[in-house]
Amino acid sequence: MKLYCLSGHPTLPCNVLKFKSTTIMLDCGLDTTSVLNFLPLPLVHSPRLSKLPSWVCKDGTINLEKELKECAGRVFVDSQPEFCLPERELLDLSTIDVILISNYHCMMALPYITEHTGFTGTVYATEPTLQIGRLLMEELVKFMERVPKAQSATCWKNKEIQRMLPGPLKDAVDVWTWKRSYSMQEVNSALSKVQLVGYSQKVELFGAVQVSPLSSGYSLGSSNWIIQSHHEKVAYVSGSSLLTTHPQPMDQSSLKNSDVLILTGLTQMPTANPDGMLGEFCSNLAMTIRAGGNVLVPCYSSGVIYDLLECLYQFIESANLGTTPFYFISPVANSSLEFSQIFAEWLCHNKQSKVYLPEPPFPHAELIQTNKLKHYPSIHGDFSSEFRQPCVVFTGHPSLRFGDVVHFMELWGKSGLNTIIFTEPDFSYLDALAPYQPLAMKCVYCPIDTRLNFHQVSKLLKEVQPLHVVCPEQYTQPPLTQSHRSDLMLELQPPPMPYRRCSVLNLPFRRRYERVYILPELANSLVPSEIKPGVSMATVSAVLHSKDNKHTLQSVPKPPPVPPSKKRKRVMEEPPVVLAPKPLLSGAVPLEAFLATLQKHGITEVKVEETADGHILHLQADDTLIQLEEDGTHIVCDNNEPLRTTLRDLVLRFLQKL
């Protein structure tokens, strides 16, 4: 059993598990942090961005005037932003049988995997994962296609040149493999390969293994996966949460007793408690509005935003913010808000029960109804006529490199009254803000990551008791910036197996058993003999028939009777001669009794030597050895066949025949 690790990002995993005869890809997360190296894509022409000076190498040897721009001491690539894809050289992606998706954040690389690689398999995901995943992909494509860039910078990727570049660009890895966004057509094609599954539904893969998704509590339709055969069980834990937010709670008990547990998707912010962050979010928001400023919240169009809106729903009244408008701007804003209301069966119990009342599960419906929350596909059109300040704007993309957020950064960045509040944990806020410097706007970082923290995961692992744990190497040491926090790492016995991008792990367990079915008529013909109370044995002669990874024992076909024929025919094939099988022996030779028997037969000079596995009897007079071991008995007796036969018979006396 092997695990190929195609992504080094712990929360955007992409691993391939070879298990029995199947090749299963676990998630295909897209690392979008690469876009931080690019200049933002403004929706409206930005004089500031267009006037940025080109970067010039100190010694003037390199001239990449068109590709690299400098802003506040940092260098950015002036080109369509590109993403860092999962590793595609480690194994042949066309051999992948299935892809299991855990949540909509972990499927963004799907089109890169399923298209143009020869992939012919199936993708399994829950319905909300598929639908919201589609929305996020659609949004991404729209963000990119709305502001096409004529040129595509590639010169800077030249290894010789990259080495000379400053800052984070120099250290960026695998830049040659970075790719521009996919098209809507590719998205559609990729998503057409998705087969929907429900929680705890069991899906057979080629008869070899069974996979089933379990609720993971992190987002709508998010799941962990169980991959099991009759004798082995692998648990794949991706983004999971134990907090009571909107999704169905995490199913922990089904993870019990796995041989291997692959652990990914822990919180990226182990020191930031989501409740505290939510409080921080609200108070900073209120503070800004009271002072007459605007609040910008760069966020994804699904996920934590539902919880933010719910929290604000309660908060705005108590903070006297009832008259402040809230805007949600995204090409998919409408669908996202509506989808969340219809996936009742995927919601937490509390919200599920609301479905039976004349009341939508999420309170944002009421915010929309009372005109407190308004949503628009973009800043163009209706929004510009209804826009009122001070206000709160939720919009993407959280990297601040594309999407409507870029416009608001340009609009509000100059005033110290305004505040930008980061809630998504995926991007470093300092890096995100780099191309906007100098910035007068107040910045608040309160990342809300509801995924498991180290304390919760230790408790979880104690309960579910996997034999082995595999996890990204980042989880096996304290965070780089807080090396004293030994509480922020996994400490397990046996220690977890760490992986990094491009690792290939041999998972530490051997498959020892396989289930074989036996046909009734064959079973009928068996003659079991009891070898110890409760345990019977029988010999079987049969033909093993294997199909679709199912193994069946069938009776040996009788040779067809030779048809009476007058024609003399050369027998082409001798029917297999079925020999009566030799009886099988079982039991052990007890040393004392055996010595006594030897003595009776006149063999007296026996020297007994104890070995690691049993005994060696040295019949000194006859220069003969008898090795009595746990799983075999050897008689070494040259040139004395009668003695050998005698000895053999004596040994046989002590053994049972089957």
Partner 1 sequence: MLITHTHTHTHVSTMDRECASLLPSVCEVLADSGRSVPDDTSLEKLLDWFTGLTEAGGSLLEACPCLLKFISTVVHNTASDPGVLSFTLRLTGLMAATEDGFKMLQERSVLNQVFNLQHWQEAGLWDDPCLRIGWIQGLRSTLQHPKALSFFVQSDFIDPLLQLQTDTSLFVASAANQMLAHILLFFQKVSSAGSNGVNKKEEDLEPPAITMETSAEYSAVVKGISEYLKESLIPKENTKLHQSLQILKLLALLLAQAGPPLRDKLLQTVTESLEELVTAGCSQLTLPLMDVILAANSSSCPDGRVPGQRVARILSSMLSINNAADLCHAAAALLRRGHHDTVHTARAVRILLLPLDIITGPTLLGTNTTADEHLFSVVEQLKSKTSCISMICVCLTNTPQITLTPPGVLPCPPVLIVTAVVSLLRICSGSSSSSSTGCSEVCRNVIGSGKVQKCALEALTALNSSPGAKEKISEVFTILIQYLDNPDSDPTVLHKSYQALVKWIRVCTDLSLITDQLRQDLVEVVKKRACDMRWEVRDSTVEFLGHLAGVHVSVTLGEEVCDASEALLGGCCTTPLLKEALQDTESYVRASAISALAKTLTHSWQQGAALTEDQTEIVSRLLEILSQDTEGFPRRAVVQYFISWFFSRSSHSPPSSSTSSTSLLMQCVRTVLSQGSADLDWEVKVHTLELAELLLDQAFSAHRGYRKGSDAHCALQHPYGVVSDQAYTLHTHTGTHAEGVQSDLARVVEQGVISALLSGLVDCDRPVALKACRLLITLRETICPLSLGALDATAAMATVSCELLGKGWGQEITKILGMEKSDRALETDISAQRSFSGADGGGDSVTVSEVLRSLSLDERLEVLTQSSDHIHNSPLSLLQDILTASAAHTHPDTKPGQEVIVDCY
What is the binding site for partner 1 (CB under 8 A)?
Answer: 271-273, 276-280, 282-287, 290, 311, 315, 317-320, 446, 482-487
Closest separation between CB of residue 317 and partner 1, Å? 7
* Four-residue CA torsion sign, 431, 432, 437, 442: negative
When the beta carbons of 65 and 491 are compared against partner 1, the nearer one is 491
Closest separation between CB of residue 465 and partner 1, Å? 22
Distance CA 124, CA 101 (A): 6
Identify whether the C-beta of residue 491 lies closer than 8 Å to the C-beta of residue 282.
no
When the beta carbons of 492 and 606 are compared against partner 1, the nearer one is 492
Closest separation between CB of residue 488 and partner 1, Å? 9
Closest separation between CB of residue 228 and partner 1, Å? 36
Token code pair at residue 339? 């989808």
User: How big is the CA angle at 390 (ends 388 and 396), to the nearest 5 degrees?
Assistant: 80
When the beta carbons of 99 and 286 are compared against partner 1, the nearer one is 286
When the beta carbons of 243 and 311 are compared against partner 1, the nearer one is 311
When the beta carbons of 484 and 566 are compared against partner 1, the nearer one is 484
Distance CA 175, CA 293 (A): 40
When the beta carbons of 315 and 475 are compared against partner 1, the nearer one is 315
User: How big is the CA angle at 148 (ends 146 and 152), to the nearest 5 degrees?
Assistant: 150
When the beta carbons of 153 and 287 are compared against partner 1, the nearer one is 287
Closest separation between CB of residue 280 and partner 1, Å? 4
Closest separation between CB of residue 318 and partner 1, Å? 4
When the beta carbons of 20 and 372 are compared against partner 1, the nearer one is 372
Element (H, E) at 593: helix 591-600
Distance CA 186, CA 145 (A): 14
State the DSSP code for 253.
G
Closest separation between CB of residue 272 and partner 1, Å? 7
When the beta carbons of 491 and 605 are compared against partner 1, the nearer one is 491
Beta strands at 74-77 and 68-71: parallel, antiparallel or unpaired: antiparallel
Identify whether the C-beta of residue 96 lies closer than 8 Å to the C-beta of residue 25.
yes
Q: What's the per-residue H, E or C state across 488-547?
A: CCCCCCCCCEEECCCCEEECCCCCCCCCEEECHHHHHCCCCEEEECCEEECCCCCEEEEE
Among 487, 485, 448, 454, residue whose Cα is nearest residue 469: 454
Distance CA 216, CA 242 (A): 8
When the beta carbons of 311 and 616 are compared against partner 1, the nearer one is 311
Closest separation between CB of residue 386 and partner 1, Å? 26
Closest separation between CB of residue 319 and partner 1, Å? 6
Q: What residues have CB less than 8 Å from 141, skipping those under 6 apart?
A: 181, 182, 183, 184, 187
- Length of the chain measured in residues: 658
SS3 content of the chain, % helix, strand, coil (to 5): 30, 20, 50
Element (H, E) at 422: strand 419-422
Closest separation between CB of residue 479 and partner 1, Å? 11
Among 449, 408, 447, residue whose Cα is nearest residue 430: 447
Distance CA 394, CA 386 (A): 16
Closest separation between CB of residue 347 and partner 1, Å? 23
Identify whether the C-beta of residue 114 lies closer than 8 Å to the C-beta of residue 189.
yes
Among 461, 516, 523, residue whose Cα is nearest residue 489: 461
When the beta carbons of 209 and 446 are compared against partner 1, the nearer one is 446
When the beta carbons of 30 and 321 are compared against partner 1, the nearer one is 321
Closest separation between CB of residue 241 and partner 1, Å? 18
